[in-house]
Structure 1
Amino acid sequence: MSETHAEAVGASDLGTAHQDLHSEQGALRGEHSGRPRNPVIKVTDLAWLEFQKPDLDRAEVFAHDFGFAIAARTPDALWLRGTFAGSPCVVIRKGRTSRFIGPAFRAAERADLGRLARATGTEVRDVDLPGGGRAVHLLDPSGFPVRVVHYNEDLQALPEQQPLLLNFGTDHRRTNVTQRPPREPARIQRLGHVVLETRVFARALDWYLDTLGMIVSDFLFLDGQRERGPTMAFIRCDRGSLAVDHHTLAMHLGPGNGYVHSAYQVTDLDAIAAGGEYLNERGYKRSWGVGRHILGSQLFDYWRDPDRLMVEHFADGDLFSHDLEPGWAPMSTSGLAQWGPPATRDFLGASPSPARIRDVIQALRGDNEMDPARLLGLLKAANS
């Protein structure tokens, strides 16, 4: 495809990217615009995600098998990276339990840190990042610690896992050569997105838009409850005419405040599939996959790490510029994938547990956006 043709395709698709997957009207009068009013700053990407785990040695073994490279290791912290230049994409700190701590987002320029600190009554601090940097430490309405960072020095790129050369119909790009993708880890290129559950969805959504300048790609609402507002948002960074990932952050209303999963880009479908076979042979548990999503269009494969935290390999995701307005769709399990196996109960979090029951009880008793109608709507969506 020529550059001119590619630009024409992008322009012609601008008004139809949500066609056949969302309500025809898009947003109705008075609904959330999915845009900030007057953002403090505009972050440019996720920088890294921070976790705590009791066994860094075991975490490092899984990190290798999943496809990360090691950026740095100390007795108390493990920094993981992908092949792309930039920052590490995961930091794991030694602690008594396995848990998600929070995300870090990248500031466009160092001056944004001072602007953000003044607006939020915080301060700019040094950050223990390989290569050095500065950060502002915040707390979002769900209670997640959020850092906004600026690096002193980017990590250099590493060798890539090369995509396979494919034949299509009469377009024969490979002759006299066989296809033998190696059974090896799917080499991570970069951190793509994180998905969070929150009891205060509307407040958290507005905080990320108004504080960090993010914008919504797609809203989901509960069937029969659209007038009460959306219950999930796929949120991207606003980099103007530069097209970026369909979502860098996704959030949905639920009975808990917690981590759902994080996603890491790999080269292509063969890297996903061969990397999945590698993980399966080593006894790790697949949560759901392989398939292709609807919202974001990614090829996906979900796995559980040894502490049962969910992580995703993905490739070929949608890229949106700021021109594309949010789509709207009902929340449903059938809306998760274009093709692939049915979504599992493990992926959906549909298997009851004592911790989940406690979340539900606390949410229904607390000062938040969960109530019996919302809870029943979420249960219905998980089975639709």
Structure 2
Amino acid sequence: MPLDVPADNGAPPVSAHSNLHSQEGARRGEHPGRARSAVVKVVDLAWLVFEKPDLDRAETFARDFGFTVSARTPDELRLRGSFAGTDAMVIRRGSGSRFVGPVFRAADRGDLDRLARFSGSRVRALGGGVAGEVVDLVDPSGFPVGVVYGADVHAALPEQLPLTLNTGPRPQRFNQAQRPAREPARVQRLGHLVLQTPRFMATLEWYLQTLGLIVSDFLFLPGQRELGPTMAFMRCDRGDTPADHHTLAMHLGPGLGYVHSAYQVTDLDALAAGGQYLAERGYHRAWGIGRHIQGSQLFDYWRDPDRLMVEHFADGDLFDASVEPGWAPLSASGLAQWGPPATRDFLGTAPSPAKVREVLAALRSQDTELTAVRLLALMKAMSR
């Protein structure tokens, strides 16, 4: 496919990746990272849906992590950030702990009709006393995906203010000591979701074509670039309006499902002090603190009591639709500019009987893009 796919404003794509940690643009004939004519262009994630058996325990962690509870019933917990907007997370009572699926936000009501016609689905009311309408879709990996319009929007809450820093030749703080509070890092909003799938390319094409996402960065396995990317960081196409570097990231792997979700906080001090707060309450840090390469976010990863991974982040990149994809080799050491080495917990490489069964099942499947050659290259990349 040609590489000169223009942005909506007619301007040619530009590169924001030159000379950054060996990143480069696409080579001739490589994937352009966007569909020529998407069905719709979603504008953001609305919320993520989970199931958990113990909503009291889920609420305790949510408050410690920095969420605000917007609603609670015996069978459902709804969580929000401090920014004006929809709920960020919906947790329903279930027999086990699992990620159900993402819900994206449509630009207008007509997008729901277009998606319903395209998918053979229907537009339905959200129900349960919640405003809005939704179309229920399923991506090629089998993940349920909702697209919503008209959902309830909460007013903004008081912010956890960023600290005034004395940096450079013009300090701004005088006669005042710096003492960030040891308290939860107040979640401002839902930032992104990361998924793993053995049907990577088919699922990538679906999100580009159906929801209009565009790729900010591709990662490929070292020595296998000609086989195509194995990870994509996708953002919403808002034209001239900048969007998060990635709203959805996805990578090839033997597993199928949720990897982590990320929630924005005010700044590095909020992230670090909030991490101390979590550690003092016995929660497990999966990886951090550090700064990513793709997306540039400051990050800190934690496990909730059910072992699901969630991220605090701050200071992420924002790209408009003119920025073309970067390309870089995948490696564990290439996931951060600075910080501790990526842990086995974060990478999902800790050996276990369940992991062996997962790998064998993926290799034997008739509906997989994972081969033994790619699996070995993936394992090698995650050890570098």
TM-score bucket of the superposed structures, by smaller chain? over 0.9
Length, aligned pairs only: 372
Displacement of 1:151: 2.2
1:341 aligns with 2:329: no
- The residue that corresponds to 1:61 in the other structure is 60
- The residue that corresponds to 2:17 in the other structure is 17
Amino acid at match of 1:132: A
Displacement of 1:23: 4.5
1:163 aligns with 2:162: yes
Amino acid at match of 2:363: L
- The residue that corresponds to 2:354 in the other structure is 355
TM-score, with structure 2 as normaliser: 0.95
1:377 aligns with 2:377: yes
Contact 2:15 2:326 (8 Å CA) reproduced: no
Displacement of 1:16: 4.2
State how 1:162-311 maps to structure 2 within 5 Å: 162-311=161-310
Percent of aligned pairs with the same amino acid: 67
Amino acid at match of 1:34: G
| Residues in 1 aligned to 2:133 and 2:23: alpha-carbon distance in whole angstroms | 43
Amino acid at match of 2:225: R
- The residue that corresponds to 2:98 in the other structure is 99
**Structure 2 CA distance for partners of 1:35 and 1:173, relative to 1, 3 Å:** same
**Structure 2 CA distance for partners of 1:45 and 1:130, relative to 1, 3 Å:** farther
Aligned partner of residue 209 in structure 2, secondary structure: helix
| Residues in 2 aligned to 1:321 and 1:147: alpha-carbon distance in whole angstroms | 24
Gaps of 5+ in 2: 1-10
Aligned partner of residue 127 in structure 1, secondary structure: strand
Amino acid at match of 2:212: G
The alignment's C-alpha RMSD in Å is 1.4
| Residues in 2 aligned to 1:29 and 1:152: alpha-carbon distance in whole angstroms | 42
Amino acid at match of 1:19: N
**Structure 2 CA distance for partners of 1:289 and 1:335, relative to 1, 3 Å:** same
State how 1:29-68 maps to structure 2 within 5 Å: 29-68=28-67
Contact 1:131 1:155 (8 Å CA) reproduced: no
| Residues in 1 aligned to 2:378 and 2:127: alpha-carbon distance in whole angstroms | 40
**Structure 2 CA distance for partners of 1:257 and 1:320, relative to 1, 3 Å:** same
Segment of structure 1 superposing worse, 54-63 or 347-356: 347-356
| Residues in 1 aligned to 2:89 and 2:357: alpha-carbon distance in whole angstroms | 29
| Residues in 2 aligned to 1:80 and 1:357: alpha-carbon distance in whole angstroms | 35
Gaps of 5+ in 1: 1-10
Displacement of 1:352: 1.4
Displacement of 1:298: 0.2
State how 1:57-136 maps to structure 2 within 5 Å: 57-128=56-127, 131-136=130-135
Amino acid at match of 2:184: P
Render the CA deviation track for 1:165-186: whole Å, top value 9, x for unaligned.
Answer: 1111321111011111100000
**Structure 2 CA distance for partners of 1:129 and 1:185, relative to 1, 3 Å:** farther
Aligned partner of residue 102 in structure 1, secondary structure: strand
Amino acid at match of 2:101: G
| Residues in 2 aligned to 1:130 and 1:292: alpha-carbon distance in whole angstroms | 41
